[in-house]
Amino acid sequence: MLNFLAPYKKFLIIFSILSIIIYFGIYTLLSPEKMLPIYSPRDINPELVDSTVQHIGNDHKIADFKFTNQNREVITQKDYENYIYVADFFFTTCPTICPKMTDNMVWLQEQLKNNPEVKLLSFSVTPDIDTPEVLKEYALEKGVDDSKWNLVTGDKKEIYYLARKSYLAVKTGKPEDIYDMVHTENFILIDKNKRIRGFYDGTNLDQPSEDDPETKNMQQLLEDILWLSENQ
């Protein structure tokens, strides 16, 4: 039998190599490369976006900011320059979704503790209550790593406009208070170029969304962060 195949040995080798190349070529075509969208105000639920920026369809980036963290340090965009980071909006006295969001952010902090490219950033939506001292007590209680995660407070108007014009993450609150905010469960993924790359349910660690199958959970956020770390 082997003697019979001998004249075809070269052909069989070439055929085998070509078959392998074709197989992997077809596999690559049928397995699309992972991509993360780049979000702009026009892509987002208008309830979460200030009317002055709802028309923007591209080149949307996070605006500069300046706030105070739990250690009374001034935190600006410079502190997040060339970092991937996750932002959210919360308040320390929130009795509903915030505790779960914070627990999940602590989980994310633990997963990323050895990744120097990633930071976390939480904005208080009640800065008049959440002073640096209050934020420090909250940070100690929750196990916040100061080197990786800033809890910030400051001027309510500035936080309001940053939330609605840059991060696209809060709804308007009481009509009688022009800068009142109703924060959502959203965690926002920001890349090294200050662009929004995803929104995630900060209350959902690893379960499929019952309301919207396209809504991503915390486990998917971690996967997207790791992908960005390797591809940006």
pLDDT digit string, tens, across residues 138-155: 999 999 999 999 999 999
pLDDT over 90 at 199, yes or no: yes
Can you name the residues that pair with 183 across neighbouring β-strands?
170
Strands 149-153, 84-90: pairing kind: unpaired
pLDDT over 90 at 164, yes or no: yes
> So what's the pLDDT on residue 232?
80
Of 46-50, 81-85, 141-145, 224-228, which gets the smallest average pLDDT? 46-50
Can you name the residues that pair with 186 across neighbouring β-strands?
201
* Residue 98, both tokens: 């915030």
Can you name the residues that pair with 90 across neighbouring β-strands?
124
Residues 138 and 167: beta-carbon distance below 8 Å: no
Residue type, 111: Q
Q: How many residues does the chain have?
A: 232
Distance (Å, whole) CA 155 – CA 117: 28
Of 150-164, 173-187, 218-232, which gets the smallest average pLDDT? 173-187
Instruction: For residues 207-219, give the mean pLDDT.
Output: 85
* Residue 67, both tokens: 């706030």
Alpha helices (runs of H) in the chain, residue ranges in sequence order = 2-5, 9-30, 98-111, 132-142, 156-162, 218-231
DSSP state at residue 49: S
The single residue listed with the structure tokens 């209050």 is 134
Residue type, 192: K
Distance (Å, whole) CA 99 – CA 59: 34
User: Which residues lie below 8 Å from residue 117, measured CB to CB, with a gap of 6+?
Assistant: 83, 84, 229
Residues 34 and 197: beta-carbon distance below 8 Å: no
Instruction: For residues 50-69, give the mean pLDDT.
Output: 94
Instruction: For residues 196-221, give the mean pLDDT.
Output: 91
CA atoms within 13 A on the CB side of 89: 25
The single residue listed with the structure tokens 């991509």 is 35
Q: What percent of the chain has pLDDT over 90?
A: 74
Average pLDDT, the chain: 88
pLDDT over 50 at 42, yes or no: yes
Confidence of residue 182 (pLDDT cuts 50, 70, 90): confident
* Residue 33, both tokens: 């490369």
Instruction: For residues 57-70, give the mean pLDDT.
Output: 96
Helices and strands, counts by H and E, the chain: 6, 9
Residue 143 zone, left/alpha/beta (φ > 0; ψ -120 to 50; rest): left
> So what's the pLDDT on residue 195?
98
pLDDT over 90 at 8, yes or no: no
Confidence of residue 28 (pLDDT cuts 50, 70, 90): very low
Q: Cα dist. 164→173, 176, 202, 232 in Å?
A: 12, 18, 18, 26
> So what's the pLDDT on residue 19?
54
* Residue 221, both tokens: 């956020």
